[in-house]
């Protein structure tokens, strides 16, 4: 009976010693709230020499350490947001842990604005996309307010505040009525990124021409060509004059020069004259030389 | 027999780790503000697949040149730094890629940038010289930004996210 108790005691003692040994084994407590660029210390337990490894975005560290001492990781070891794996090995023991480093505060903005040139008074034509980063260029996943502003001088700017989703905010805006260089900015706190969008006159409005006899035909000339908001249509825009008579059709393409377009059409005793620019059709004239 | 099976399993593992294309499935049903055209979708799948292959080669062989065609900006900087740090310490990382379920969440109006959410199933072995010091099999969410350029889509941001 005594012998049996002695054996039971010996087993219990062995189990307790084993448990104590396991408790003494390498133990790594990885951080639960690490932030990019901020230093952390990883506490360990046990005793003796060990090797510490850290694998993460932009990082691979191998360092000789002591079990039981805290392992200090500098901010530069954790500058990138993402998944990190820490491994502590030595003396036949090994422990590992995975932790995540979150981006730090929003600090920088990357801004894509398209297109660089748009016609005035056009709906849903200008797009702006902002990516929000922290000091270490990690995409900030927490919602962040980005202010978008589009305006031309002497015009009323259009302003929108959009919250980022997974680091991205975007707007799609109409172009203003006024032609000119529009300033398109995306701003975040003190960081302000500016792009220029050139707003040009839209399609001509009320395209009108007049005709008069010329030495070798008919001289046709438009009034000053403007869009519906009164912006002069840029020089170089093509205007097409057409003459139809009993001999057939004649067409002349002329470029706008100093705001007007003119051309000389073949002589005719009776013809129908018309003018167009792009999809816009102007007035018609019935020409008669009598 | 057991030895033969072990050999076959090892060969399959090596094939998965080196050269074999990871399976990438892209879902673009909820992308905004612009729909993704069929050809663009195919190109993104092709280029994202290549990017993961390049990443696996770069980190396994400590060869940052493998990253040049598929990564740009922040993602390229991060991976190059990782390769450089591994080289200095004699470390390697072996990726065995078990596939990616990718959801397109943002496609810019001008077609120059795309944001994806990837749920990747990965097996990673970390080696000190030839000795495996740690291996892990896990599912990981990534936030990805790809930008168009040079006739291909390149990964600009590849950021692992904690599980929600």
| Bridge partners of residue A133, in order along the sequence | A108, A139
Question: B112: which DSSP letter?
Answer: S
Residues lower than pLDDT 70 in chain A: 1-4, 6, 9-26, 290
Answer yes or no: are the C-beta atoms of B95 and B57 closer than 8 Å: no
Nearest 10 degrees: Cα torsion B96, B113, B111, B67: -50
Chain B residues in contact with A137 (beta carbon < 8 A): 74, 77
| Residue A67, CA distances (Å) to A32, A89, A91, B23, B148 in order | 20, 9, 10, 41, 48
Which residues in chain A are closer than 8 Å to B115, comparing Cβ atoms? 166-168
Residue where a domain terminates, one of A75, A102, A129: A102
CATH of the domain at A152: 2.60.40.1930
Find which of B31, B127, B134 to mutate to test the A interface (most A CBs within 10 Å of its CB).
B134
Report CA-CA distances (Å) from A250 to A212, A220, A245, A263, A284: 17, 13, 9, 12, 15
Statement to judge: residues A32 and A75 lie in one domain: yes
Cα separation, A68 vs A51, in Å, equals 12
Domain with A268 in it: what CATH number?
A: 2.60.40.10
pLDDT digits (tens, 9 = 90+) for B123-138: 999 999 999 999 999 9
Tell me what ipTM this predicted complex has.
0.89
Asked if residues A149 and A157 have their Cβ atoms less than 8 Å apart, the reply is yes
Same domain for A93 and A47, yes or no, is: yes
Instruction: Please say if the pLDDT value at position B47 is more than 60.
Output: yes
Please report which confidence band the pLDDT of residue B11 belongs to, taking 50, 70 and 90 as the band edges.
very low
Tell which B residues from 69 to 98 touch A, by Cβ distance under 8 Å: 74, 77-79, 81-82, 85-86, 89-91, 93
Q: A31: part of which helix (H) or strand (E)?
A: none
Residue A97 falls inside a structural domain: yes
Domain boundaries, chain B: 2-161
pLDDT per position as a tens digit, B64-114: 999 999 999 999 999 999 999 999 999 999 999 999 999 999 999 889 999
In a domain, A5, yes or no: no
Domains held by chain A: number: 3
In the predicted structure, residue B40 carries a pLDDT above the cut 70: yes
- Which pLDDT value is given to residue A4? 66
CB-based contact A139 B145, cutoff 8 Å? yes
For A95, the closest chain B residue by CA position comes to B134
Instruction: Identify the CATH class of B2-161.
Output: alpha beta
Residue at which a domain ends, from A200, A225, A256: A200
In this structure, are residues B134 and B111 in contact, taking their beta carbons and an 8 Å threshold? no
Torsion of CA A103, A108, A114, A116, to 10 degrees: -160
**In this predicted model, what pLDDT tens digit does every residue of A220-266 receive, in sequence order?**
999 999 998 889 998 999 999 999 999 999 999 999 999 999 999 99
Residue of A nearest to B62 (CA): A60
Domain ranges, residue A195: 108-200
- State the pLDDT at residue A13: 57
């Amino acid at each position: 009976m005594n012998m049996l108790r002695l054996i039971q005691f010996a087993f219990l003692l062995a189990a307790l010693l084993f448990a104590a040994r396991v408790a003494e084994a390498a133990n790594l407590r990885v951080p639960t709230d690490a932030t990019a660029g901020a230093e952390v210390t990883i506490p360990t337990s046990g005793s003796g020499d060990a090797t510490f490894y850290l694998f993460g975005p932009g990082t691979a560290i191998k360092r000789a350490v002591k079990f039981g001492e805290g392992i200090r990781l500098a901010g530069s070891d954790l500058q990138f947001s993402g998944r990190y794996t820490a491994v502590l090995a030595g003396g036949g023991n090994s422990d590992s842990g995975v932790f995540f480093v979150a981006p730090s505060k929003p600090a920088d903005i990357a801004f894509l604005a398209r297109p660089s040139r748009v016609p005035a008074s056009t709906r849903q034509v200008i797009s702006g996309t902002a990516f929000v980063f922290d000091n270490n260029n990690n995409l900030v996943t927490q919602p962040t307010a980005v202010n978008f502003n589009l305006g031309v001088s002497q015009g009323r700017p259009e302003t929108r505040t959009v919250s980022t989703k997974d680091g991205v905010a975007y707007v799609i805006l109409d172009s203003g009525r006024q032609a000119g260089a529009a300033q398109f900015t995306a701003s975040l706190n003190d960081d302000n990124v500016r792009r220029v969008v050139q707003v040009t006159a839209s399609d001509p409005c009320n395209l009108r021409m007049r005709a008069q006899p010329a030495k070798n035909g008919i001289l046709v000339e438009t009034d000053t060509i403007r869009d519906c908001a009164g912006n002069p249509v840029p020089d170089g825009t093509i205007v097409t004059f057409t003459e139809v008579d009993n001999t057939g059709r004649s067409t002349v393409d002329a470029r706008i020069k100093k705001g007007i377009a003119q051309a000389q059409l073949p002589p005719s005793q009776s013809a129908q004259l018309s003018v167009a620019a792009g999809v816009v059709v102007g007035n018609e004239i019935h020409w008669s030389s009598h | 027999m057991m030895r033969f099976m072990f050999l076959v399993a090892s060969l399959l593992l090596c094939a998965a780790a080196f050269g074999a294309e990871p399976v990438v499935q892209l879902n673009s049903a909820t992308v905004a503000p612009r729909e993704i055209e069929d050809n663009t979708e195919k190109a993104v799948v092709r280029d994202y697949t290549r990017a993961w292959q390049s990443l696996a080669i770069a980190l396994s062989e400590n060869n940052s040149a493998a990253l040049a065609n598929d990564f740009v900006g922040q993602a390229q900087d991060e991976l190059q730094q990782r390769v450089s740090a591994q080289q200095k310490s004699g470390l390697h990382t072996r990726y065995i890629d078990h596939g990616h379920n990718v959801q397109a969440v943002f496609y810019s109006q001008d077609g120059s940038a795309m944001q994806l959410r990837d749920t990747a199933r990965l097996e990673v072995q970390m080696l000190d010289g030839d000795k495996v010091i740690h291996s892990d099999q896990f599912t990981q969410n990534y936030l990805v930004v790809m930008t168009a350029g040079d006739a291909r889509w390149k990964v600009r941001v590849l950021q692992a996210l904690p599980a929600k």
